[in-house]
Structure 1
Amino acid sequence: MPLGDGTRAVHAGLPAPVPGRPFLPGPVPAAPYHLDPVAGPQPGVDGYGRTDNSTYRALETAIGQLEGGECVVFASGMAAVTAVLLTTLRSGDTVVLPSDGYYLTRVFAAEHLPERGVTVLTAPTSGPYPAFDDVRLLLLETPSNPGLDVCDLAGLAAAVHARGGLVAVDNTTPTPLGQRPLDHGADVSVASGTKALTGHSDLLLGYVCTRDPQLAATIRTWRARTGAVPGPFEAWLAHRSLGTLDLRLSRQSANASAVSDVLAGHPAVRSVRWPGRPEDPAYGLARRQMRRVPGVVTFTLADKAAVDRFLDASELVFAATSFGGLHTSADRRAQWGDNAPEGLVRFSCGIEDTADLVADLRRALDAARA
């Protein structure tokens, strides 16, 4: 029978019940394993930790069930996205990246792809897009980070596929419970698991999911040869955290809804974006395409000084550059060279009581205005 998100998250990747064994075995921190002294390495039997580990195979099974594809886990989100770029692109190819997406992806592409003969183009998430005639790979990020624009995944995937290209989607912000890119025609879903997927701000992780067995094998080989494997303990922590994903996202999204309403009505705020608000320009597309809107809200105050006053006055909001965790955090994006306005804040709602978070937000915004 079809299962709900909460049930799937709790049971994803768990082994069959065995009396006397834990629900989630592991972690298995071994690097080398015993080999058959005569036959040598055997298929399906762990041989060396850089290519085989039962702990991260269990995590791959779990994430693959949630994304709807074969999963390859990586040591970080950047390791995952660079693996996609460097395994799919060759000299003479063209890649299109989001001009308003995660800026380090653009930095990596600009610094390392042209010297490999790859043409790098950018386009805003909401468009317009260049012609896809010579595009080998279109990398999307929807909602974009930090602007929270949304694009039509199915329409763009159809246009790129008609010209023989591939589509990859950075699914970090929504997670697979908020959006399943492979269901909308994408060839690859890539994400940082450091953020909302695991949600406890205690590990680094990335992953790539695809329904193309050959592409999955290529990505897996790349990981083994470059050594970008996650640690077994991090993989175990991530798998443990998946069980509460549905619960965490539900509270974060509810908090984001309340927070966005407060922000939209406060005189200190110059702009606010959250695709879950009916007034947001991305609302209609997000409602059709996304299974739920994540708990990240972006807003703009007057300048850096206003953001400083806001953070100093808040009792519940931590200054931190990651997002998707249990604790509400805020990040002034311009401090990272993100080509953002000085007063732009990416606000990641945690799982605090909504009333407490709203009250704290109002006090901090009043201080920012003063």
Structure 2
Amino acid sequence: MPGFSTNAIHAGQEPDPVTGAVTMPIHPSSTFKQDGVGGLRGGYEYSRSANPTRTALQECLAALEGGRHAVAFGSGMGASDVLLRAILAPGDHVVIPHDAYGGTFRLIDKVFAGWGVTYTPVDLGDVAALRAALSPRTKLVWSETPTNPLLGIADIAVIAQVAHTAGALLVVDNTFASPYLQQPLALGADVVLHSTTKYVGGHSDVVGGAIVTSDDALAEKIAFLQNATGQVPGPFDAWLTLRGVKTLAVRMERHCDNAERIAEMLTAHPAVERVLYPGLPDHPGHEIAAKQMRRFGGMVSFTLKGGQEAARRVCAATELFTLAESLGGVESLIELPAAMTHMSVAGSELEVPDSLVRLSVGIEDVEDLVEDLRAALAQA
């Protein structure tokens, strides 16, 4: 069986049979010639339904996650929306992490709740709390591990067993880990979701999402809903994502190297109250992360002793770390989740600390990043 990087470079990407081109072509055509009514060439008729460049990306992502099916979307939230519609109906119940991504919370709380879906936020690291939250109406347990932005860790194998015993499916948002660091399907998850905007694409130049599963019936329903609602990526977006994924393994190794060094520096800094990084021995869930992840990732969060104002000063003072939302690109980013990516959870059970700073650690020279943060922390 091919290794990870071999699949990243070759799965779904055979040289073009006509020209021999080794790079997957971009197929911008919106429609495809049919050899007679219903005589489709390769199954293509209209690019909302299927496109060859998108097919290549989907085959590659399925191989990387060890699933039979992958469906690529125009965004991670588009993928989330279709996935929830494929599994839930009015009256159903879903369990979500107590520190879920703000966009996921907003979708469930503001959109699906109005459709008649109920939800319960739970610390998925607490198996007893998860069991208590489940009911006969629970159709889905939605997990992130690590979570955004608190880097919470959930034991995928244990949660899968608990969910399945209750008759629910387990979805794992694998965006923070990427397929290189963690493969939830192999641990018992039913579905994996990605914002491919992040580590999979890796260059902050394309927005996308993906769902991967080995459940044939669910994959068919997801593909139907995608086609019916038109939540597809364009061929150039698919091509950019496919180009990015080729270097995922080598990029993730550098992200992890740099993040480990920065977490070490922050832990020793007098202005820092607490560092959240799964690679630290005292991080909640560290042993679980060590068991189910290849390494600990490129995301680091921390709180400051000086509170929100100190956090704002640090975010404003960095030079190499760019103040911006999103994550997973080659460049380092810094943000204040309470006032940026997670404003949608303000006032809810999922509210994040206002002194929390989130770093997406890039692949620059690590000593330059360390010095940039040291200089910024002097303003705390």
Shorter-chain TM range is over 0.9
* Aligned residue in 2 for 1:259: 262
Long gaps (5+) in structure 2: 346-350
* Aligned residue in 2 for 1:122: 121
Give the distance between the partners of 1:208 and 1:241, measured in 2 at CA: 17
Give the distance between the partners of 2:114 and 2:201, measured in 1 at CA: 35
Give the distance between the partners of 1:150 and 1:198, measured in 2 at CA: 23
- Identify which of 181, 184, 204 aligns with 2:184: 181
Q: What residue identity is the alignment partner of 2:191?
A: V
- Identify which of 329, 340, 346 aligns with 1:325: 329
- The question of 1:366 aligning with 2:378 is answered yes
Give the distance between the partners of 2:173 and 2:284, measured in 1 at CA: 21
- Identify which of 268, 274, 277 aligns with 2:277: 274
- Identify which of 368, 372, 377 aligns with 1:356: 368
Q: What residue identity is the alignment partner of 1:194?
A: T
Give the distance between the partners of 1:111 and 1:119, measured in 2 at CA: 11
Give the distance between the partners of 2:24 and 2:5, measured in 1 at CA: 21
> Quick check: 39-48 or 182-191, which moved more?
39-48
Q: What residue identity is the alignment partner of 1:48?
A: Y
Identical amino acids, percent of aligned pairs: 39
Give the distance between the partners of 1:230 and 1:365, measured in 2 at CA: 40
Q: Check whether the contact 2:315–2:336 (CA below 8 A) recurs between aligned residues.
A: no
For residues 218-265 of structure 1, give each alpha carbon's deviation from its aligned partner in whole angstroms, at most 9, with x where no partner exists.
000000000000010000000011111111101110010000011111
Q: What residue identity is the alignment partner of 1:350?
A: G
Give the distance between the partners of 2:10 and 2:50, measured in 1 at CA: 23
* Aligned residue in 1 for 2:63: 65
- Structure 1 residue 93: Cα displacement: 1.6
For residues 177-213 of structure 1, give each alpha carbon's deviation from its aligned partner in whole angstroms, at most 9, with x where no partner exists.
1111111111100110001111100010000000011
- The question of 1:40 aligning with 2:43 is answered no
Give the distance between the partners of 1:13 and 1:40, measured in 2 at CA: 25
* Aligned residue in 2 for 1:304: 308
- Structure 1 residue 84: Cα displacement: 1.1
* Aligned residue in 1 for 2:134: 132
- Structure 1 residue 140: Cα displacement: 0.5
Q: What residue identity is the alignment partner of 2:201?
A: T
> Quick check: 208-217 or 155-164, which moved more?
155-164
- The question of 1:240 aligning with 2:243 is answered yes
**How much is the aligned-residue C-alpha RMSD, in angstroms?**
1.6
- Structure 1 residue 19: Cα displacement: 8.0
| Pairing of 1:150-169 with structure 2 (within 5 A) | 150-169=153-172
Give the distance between the partners of 1:313 and 1:75, measured in 2 at CA: 34
Give the distance between the partners of 1:198 and 1:18, measured in 2 at CA: 26
Aligned length: 366
SS in 2 for 1:57: helix
Q: Check whether the contact 1:329–1:350 (CA below 8 A) recurs between aligned residues.
A: yes
Q: What residue identity is the alignment partner of 1:121?
A: T
TM-score, normalised to structure 1's length? 0.95
* Aligned residue in 2 for 1:289: 292
> Quick check: 252-261 or 102-111, which moved more?
102-111
- Structure 1 residue 116: Cα displacement: 2.6
- The question of 1:77 aligning with 2:76 is answered yes
Long gaps (5+) in structure 1: none
Q: What residue identity is the alignment partner of 1:32?
A: T
- Structure 1 residue 123: Cα displacement: 0.9
* Aligned residue in 2 for 1:97: 96
SS in 1 for 2:150: coil
Return structure 1 stretches of 4+ with deviation > 6 angstroms: none
Q: What residue identity is the alignment partner of 1:215?
A: L
Give the distance between the partners of 2:19 and 2:33, measured in 1 at CA: 25
TM-score, normalised to structure 2's length? 0.92
Q: What residue identity is the alignment partner of 2:44?
A: D
* Aligned residue in 1 for 2:358: 346
Give the distance between the partners of 1:160 and 1:126, measured in 2 at CA: 14
Give the distance between the partners of 1:205 and 1:131, measured in 2 at CA: 32
Q: What residue identity is the alignment partner of 1:154?
A: A
- Structure 1 residue 91: Cα displacement: 2.4
- Structure 1 residue 342: Cα displacement: 1.8
Give the distance between the partners of 1:155 and 1:49, measured in 2 at CA: 40
Q: What residue identity is the alignment partner of 1:320?
A: A
> Quick check: 241-250 or 8-17, which moved more?
8-17
Q: What residue identity is the alignment partner of 1:313?
A: A
Q: What residue identity is the alignment partner of 2:115?
A: R
Give the distance between the partners of 1:88 and 1:97, measured in 2 at CA: 14
For residues 288-314 of structure 1, give each alpha carbon's deviation from its aligned partner in whole angstroms, at most 9, with x where no partner exists.
111222100010122333223223332
Give the distance between the partners of 1:318 and 1:166, measured in 2 at CA: 38
